[in-house]
């Protein structure tokens, strides 16, 4: 069982799986912090979403660079990575505003609903950044 798991993490088709591991870890951290900020501390939805997204961009870059894509870091790649995540932050914020005006859920639930959309967009665009030869 352990060998299969290790092989899964090191195989050619394992990037998406490793991306999901990093993404799940960062997402769990983000959702936990979102719950604390939004439910316990009653901070406003949009600023909280932006603040936590910015924090998790940094964590995600470090983990994806070294674990997911096993790529060398460079200032150029870091800037591209931030640009990708800032773009999906903007899209996620627009979707969040739309959902808040059309769905009667608590803020932390709306926060959770936008995560799958940004995860898929981030993977596709991050893969382009960390692709060998870029």
What is the C-alpha to C-alpha distance for residues 112 and 130, in angstroms, rounded to an integer? 27
Tell me the angle at which helices 75-102 and 107-130 cross, rounded to the nearest 10 degrees. 150
Q: What is the structure's pLDDT at 10?
A: 60
What is the C-alpha to C-alpha distance for residues 121 and 124, in angstroms, rounded to an integer? 5
Residues 35 and 108: beta-carbon distance below 8 Å: yes
Domain definitions of the chain by residue range: 2-130
Q: What is the structure's pLDDT at 1?
A: 53
What are the per-10-residue average pLDDT scores of the chain (134 residues)?
A: 57 76 90 94 94 89 86 82 89 95 92 88 84 62
Q: What is the structure's pLDDT at 15?
A: 79
């Amino acid at each position: 069982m352990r060998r299969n798991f290790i092989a899964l993490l090191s195989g050619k088709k394992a990037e998406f799986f490793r991306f999901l591991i990093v993404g799940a870890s960062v997402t769990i951290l983000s959702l936990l912090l979102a719950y604390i900020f939004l439910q316990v501390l009653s901070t406003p939805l949009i600023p909280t979403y932006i603040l936590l997204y910015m924090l998790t961009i940094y964590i995600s870059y470090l983990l994806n660079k070294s674990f997911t894509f096993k790529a060398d870091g460079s200032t150029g790649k870091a800037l591209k990575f931030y640009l990708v995540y800032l773009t999906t932050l903007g899209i996620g914020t627009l979707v969040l505003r739309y959902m808040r005006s059309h769905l009667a859920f608590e803020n932390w639930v709306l926060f959770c609903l936008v995560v799958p959309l940004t995860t898929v967009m981030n993977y596709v665009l991050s893969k382009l950044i960390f692709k060998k030869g870029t």
